[in-house]
A and B are shown apart, each in its own frame.
Chain A
Amino acid sequence: MAETGRQPVVRVEHLSKHFGQGTARVDALVDINLEVFPGQVVGLMGPSGSGKTTLLHCIACILEPSSGRITLDGEAVYDERWLKADLRRLRLDKIGFIFQYPNLLPFLDGSDNVAIVLDLAGFSAAAARTRAIELLDYLEVGHRKHALPKQLSGGEAQRVAIARALANRPRIILADEPTAPLDSARARIVMDLLRRIAVEQSAAIIVVTHDKMILDRFDHIYRLRDGRLETDAAAGRQLATTAVV
């Protein structure tokens, strides 16, 4: 699915990942090739155990592939020059992650849960807080900025988590079942929000989902089966070509 004249933000080439050796060897991913361009929202679907999460871990730089190559925003990762600390820094600077459950730090309020990412990136406390409040307002949860995670509803907490993922203006956003804990109306709101972010920030967004109600929100859908990738572009909308880059 190469697009002429544009560089993909996420490029996965001949990626394989296996666990164990010999007869105990399990091939979780086999020869995966994938490209996601700026402004695109792609879906990653497949039955349980098909390798979706493994692929997401590899792209998120928390699981080293057995072979193949991953290029994130022009930088090839996992070659011998990368250290664990560098990968963490890369995650901090370039990747935003939305978990299935919000995974907010229970001891920080809404705005601090967003500001922590900026704080780690070296922003001043005031700048981090201003940006956090801006994002919470943008996601319409600004009025809950002082609430602790346990005081937030499921939808509010998920929006705070999205704000945290966006805090550093990442080029790549990875989302693992972000709509799973939400009802269908809220799920559509979250997906529309992700689409808007992809366009406004020229970000590449990969969403792992089982939710068939949101399929029309994707530009492309990849299906994983037994660690092998099948593309299903027809199922998604071709919106990426109209996206602002």
Chain B
Amino acid sequence: MNLAYRDIKHNLLRFVLTNFGLSLLLGIVIMITGVYGGLIDDALRQARAANADIWVVEAGTNGPFAEASRIPGDTRELVSRVYGVERAGSVTYQSVQTIVSDKPLRLFLIGFEPGRPGGPRQLSDGREILRSHYEMIVDRSSGLMLGQEVPLGTHGHRFTVVGLMRDEVTSSGDPVGYITLRDAQTLQFESAPPAARRELARGGGLETNDQINAVIAKVSPYVPEAEVAAALSRWKHLTALTQDQQETLLSKFVIEKARKQQGLIMVLLVIVSAVIIALIVYTLTMDKVRSIATLKFVGAPDRTIIGLIVQQALSMGIFGYFAGLALVLVFKPYFPRRLVLDPESVGIVFIITVVICLAASTLGIRLALKVDPAEALASSG
């Protein structure tokens, strides 16, 4: 006879209400796990989207994500000539903010050379950039539609959305957009007309905007990447980073603080969940003290009593976990940033939940084992 099941069935409404609260709490734990996963995934996607083997950046910097990097626009020609480099492409990176439909829109813009490394990986809708100017490809999370025009930069140019991507956002959650390198250079390096006029008036002359943030190189499979990187680093004004180094910089340093914050919140939530589950189990056990005393009196072994408490704690945790997971999955598309719930991390949260329930039930078990069977003889009915 399963006493835990009978007790739950008898107090079904209380069980459901308690579990609803618990599912919200465990849902938040799962959500934070998703945010944590999304943070790392987004950061790495940014680097992986370029499909690079080697990143060539300004000497002495960890650019272009961890630090600012600015190198001459003709660096790509230099890199292309190095032994082992199959293809190379120039890229720029910049954050922009504009107004679309009276709402502010933040974008992380990547300038790339169409047909060369550094462009968007896969489109979910629309087409590649075919014209030299004023076309863009953006992530769907920006809310922009195909054909929509977006004003960008100090010159008031309007860019037409020609392609859409999915799940291309930065580690801070901003949607990624791709434009041609020439447009990106204009946006990033060319002064606004009044500023340019003032610069001319003070004798500064016209500044060049033929600068880039990095060169992305694809290396021949027959040549070791490290060898190519070493060859590139011989130029004193350049630093070459392999893709692994770039990913390490992103995951270990760029998002380190955010990662720690998320991790701390997750640990705190797990502790809060453990305390709450322990209190619920303890309260449920307190409610059953007389029944436990009666069971002991009639000869029930300790394992029956422990089984009752542990099974209830586990069923509460497991029900709460799956209800919480369902809530997160339902509301995931409406969450303001991308949640990445891979089976491994979701599985770890499940195991943590089970461990919490087992640990939390020890408080109830301690109470139950201390119950004197003589309490069943107490005169109150």
Binds B, one of A71-79, A115-123, A225-233, A237-245: A115-123
Q: Which of A47-73 contact B (CB under 8 A)?
A: 53, 56-57, 60, 62-63
Q: Shortest distance in angstroms between B295's beta carbon and chain A's nearest beta carbon?
A: 7
A88 to B301: give the CA distance in the assembly, Å. 7
A125 to B302: give the CA distance in the assembly, Å. 20
Do residues A105 and B294 form an inter-chain contact, with CB atoms below 8 A?
yes
B374 at the binding interface (Cβ < 8 Å): yes
Q: Shortest distance in angstroms between A81's beta carbon and chain B's nearest beta carbon?
A: 18
Q: 1/0 per position for A23-57, CB-CB distance to B under 8 A?
A: 00000000000000000000000000000010011
Q: A53-B377, A57-B374, A63-B374 are in contact. Are A103 and B294 (CB under 8 A)?
A: yes
A85 to B296: give the CA distance in the assembly, Å. 10
A112 contact set on B, CB distance < 8 A = 1, 6
Interface residues on chain A, number (Cβ under 8 Å): 36
Q: Shortest distance in angstroms between A202's beta carbon and chain B's nearest beta carbon?
A: 21
**Contact residues on B (Cβ < 8 Å of other chain), bracket:** 20 to 34
B257 at the binding interface (Cβ < 8 Å): no
B300 at the binding interface (Cβ < 8 Å): yes
For B299, give the chain A residue with the smallest CB separation: A92
A116 contact set on B, CB distance < 8 A = 1, 3, 295, 298
A169 at the binding interface (Cβ < 8 Å): no
Q: Shortest distance in angstroms between A143's beta carbon and chain B's nearest beta carbon?
A: 21
Do residues A115 and B7 form an inter-chain contact, with CB atoms below 8 A?
no
Q: Shortest distance in angstroms between B7's beta carbon and chain A's nearest beta carbon?
A: 4
Do residues B377 and A176 form an inter-chain contact, with CB atoms below 8 A?
yes
Q: A100-B379, A108-B6 are in contact. Are A117 and B290 (CB under 8 A)?
A: no
Do residues B297 and A62 form an inter-chain contact, with CB atoms below 8 A?
yes
A89 to B303: give the CA distance in the assembly, Å. 13
A103 to B297: give the CA distance in the assembly, Å. 11
Do residues A92 and B298 form an inter-chain contact, with CB atoms below 8 A?
yes
B299 contact set on A, CB distance < 8 A = 88-93, 95, 117, 120-121
Q: Which of B298, B301, B379 has a CB less than 8 Å from the CB of A97?
A: B298
B214 contact set on A, CB distance < 8 A = none
B301 contact set on A, CB distance < 8 A = 85, 88-89, 120
A62 contact set on B, CB distance < 8 A = 297, 372-374
Q: 1/0 per position for B268-301, CB-CB distance to A under 8 A?
A: 0000000000000000000000110011111111
Q: Which of A91-142 contact B (CB under 8 A)?
A: 91-93, 95, 97, 99-101, 103, 105-108, 112, 115-117, 119-121, 125, 128
B297 contact set on A, CB distance < 8 A = 60, 62, 91, 97
Q: 1/0 per position for B10-45, CB-CB distance to A under 8 A?
A: 110000000000000000000000000000000000
A57 to B7: give the CA distance in the assembly, Å. 28
B11 contact set on A, CB distance < 8 A = 107
A85 contact set on B, CB distance < 8 A = 301-302
A181 contact set on B, CB distance < 8 A = 381
A166 to B193: give the CA distance in the assembly, Å. 101
Q: Which of A88, A90, A103, A119 has a CB less than 8 Å from the CB of B376?
A: A103
A121 contact set on B, CB distance < 8 A = 299
Q: Which of A135-173 contact B (CB under 8 A)?
A: 148, 164
B residues lining the A interface (CB < 8 Å): 1, 3, 6-7, 9-11, 290-291, 294-302, 304, 372-374, 376-377, 379-381
10 A-B contact pairs sorted by A residue (CB < 8 Å): A60-B297, A85-B301, A88-B296, A88-B299, A91-B299, A99-B377, A100-B377, A107-B11, A120-B300, A120-B301
A residues lining the B interface (CB < 8 Å): 53, 56-57, 60, 62-63, 85, 88-93, 95, 97, 99-101, 103, 105-108, 112, 115-117, 119-121, 125, 128, 148, 164, 176, 181
> With contacts A95-B299, A105-B3, A164-B298 known, what are 17 further pairs, Cβ within 8 A?
A57-B374, A57-B377, A63-B374, A88-B299, A92-B299, A99-B376, A101-B381, A103-B294, A103-B376, A105-B291, A105-B294, A112-B6, A120-B301, A120-B304, A125-B1, A176-B377, A181-B381
